[in-house]
Amino acid sequence: MCGRFVSTSTAAAIASYFGATSSIDSLGQNFNVAPTHDIYGVVADPRGNDTVQAFHWGLIPSWARERKIGASMINARSETITEKPAFRDLARKKRVLIPMDGFYEWKPGSPDGPLNSKGKPLKQPMFIERIDGEPLAVAGLWSTWKDPADPEQRWLRSATVITTKANHDMSVVHHRMPVLVPPTRWQEWLDPGNADIESLSDLFTARNDNILRLCAVSTNVNSVRNNTPDLTTPLSG
Give the tens place of pLDDT for each residue, 27-36: 999 999 999 9
**Higher pLDDT pick, 154 / 176:** 176
* 162 neighbors 79 (Cβ within 8 angstroms): no
Range of the domain at 73: 4-232
> What H or E segment, with its residue span, contains residue 52?
strand 50-57
Q: What is the count of structural domains for the chain?
A: 1
Q: Is residue 171's pLDDT more than 70?
A: yes
For residue 162, being part of any structural domain is answered with: yes
Compute CA distances 96 → 40, 108, 178, 217, whole Å.
Answer: 10, 31, 13, 29
Q: Is residue 109 part of a domain?
A: yes
Mean pLDDT of the chain: 94
Residue 183: give its domain's CATH number: 3.90.1680.10
For residue 198, indicate whether it is catalytic.
Answer: no
More confident of the two residues 233 and 109: 233
* Model pLDDT, residue 148: 87
Task: For the chain, report the end-to-end CA distance as a whole number of angstroms.
Answer: 27
Residues 59-78 have a mean pLDDT of: 95
121 in a structural domain: yes
Global pTM exceeds 0.85: yes
Q: What is the mean pLDDT of residues 155-159?
A: 96
Each residue's pLDDT tens digit, 98-149: 999 999 999 998 888 887 888 888 999 999 999 999 999 999 999 999 988 8
**Catalytic choice (2, 66, 83, 198):** 2
143 within a domain of the structure (yes/no): yes
Is residue 237's pLDDT more than 80?
A: no
Looking at the domain assignment, is residue 237 inside a domain? no
SS3 200: helix
The gap from C-alpha 129 to its chain's centroid, in whole angstroms, comes to: 13
Does residue 56 fall inside a structural domain? Answer: yes
The answer to whether 33 touches 6, Cβ cutoff 8 Å, is yes
- Whether 52 is covered by a domain: the verdict is yes
- Note the pLDDT of residue 202: 96
Catalytic-labelled residue, pool 66, 79, 83, 105: 105
105 is an active site residue: yes
Q: Of 201, 26, 202, 23, which is closest to residue 99 (Cα–Cα)?
A: 26
* Domain assignment of residue 94, yes or no: yes
